[in-house]
């Protein structure tokens, strides 16, 4: 079910500088693939009487219209398994690196014996645009036969890096 291969992959690099300040932005995205949300499938298993979703109203004869199947304790036909209801649009665009830097003018740093002094801050993986409800639309899969299956892999880390570089 579904197609794990993106129809479009793209990357973006932008850069600008003005009076000693510089800004660079890098991003990439994948569009048009469907992914299986394994964390939602695991959380939706009611066979052991767990309720991982607050306020769930399952299908009943009194409430026949719903987006969830019936829930019966200990029944393997509940909402868990490889069903197409766990397929989602896996499209995303991520700003992978945003760097803002400042280079101190040479006339100020020559007095202390430096040729160049630059300070910068880099934000990594801080912004991701997606409709995917899992932890990260860019999950790690274990190979060609599990492409497009998110088995609750850990999301890409977010990081803030500060840098100070000197040239003597």
Judge whether residue 49 has pLDDT over 60: yes
Model-level pTM?
0.81
pLDDT tens-digit series, residues 62-113: 888 666 666 666 666 655 556 788 899 999 999 999 999 999 998 888 888 8
Q: Are strands 149-150 and 34-37 parallel, antiparallel or unpaired?
A: parallel
Cα–Cα distance, 124 to 133 (Å, whole number): 21
3-state secondary structure of 91: coil
Cα–Cα distance, 14 to 36 (Å, whole number): 33
């Amino acid at each position: 079910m579904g197609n794990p291969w993106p129809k479009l992959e793209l990357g973006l690099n932008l850069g600008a500088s003005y009076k000693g300040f510089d800004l660079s932005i890098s991003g990439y995205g994948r569009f048009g693939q469907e992914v299986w949300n394994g964390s939602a499938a695991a959380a939706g298993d009611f066979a052991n009487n767990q309720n991982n979703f607050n306020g769930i109203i399952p299908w009943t004869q009194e409430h026949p219209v719903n987006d969830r199947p019936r829930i019966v304790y200990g029944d393997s036909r509940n909402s868990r398994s490889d069903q197409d209801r766990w397929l989602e649009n896996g499209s995303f665009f991520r700003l992978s690196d945003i760097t803002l830097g400042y280079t101190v003018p040479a006339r100020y740093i020559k007095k202390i014996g430096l040729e160049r002094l630059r300070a910068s801050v880099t934000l990594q993986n801080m912004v991701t645009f997606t409709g995917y409800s899992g932890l990260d639309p860019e999950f790690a899969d274990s190979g060609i036969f599990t492409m497009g299956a998110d088995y609750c892999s850990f999301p890409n880390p977010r990081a803030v890096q500060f840098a100070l570089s000197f040239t003597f």
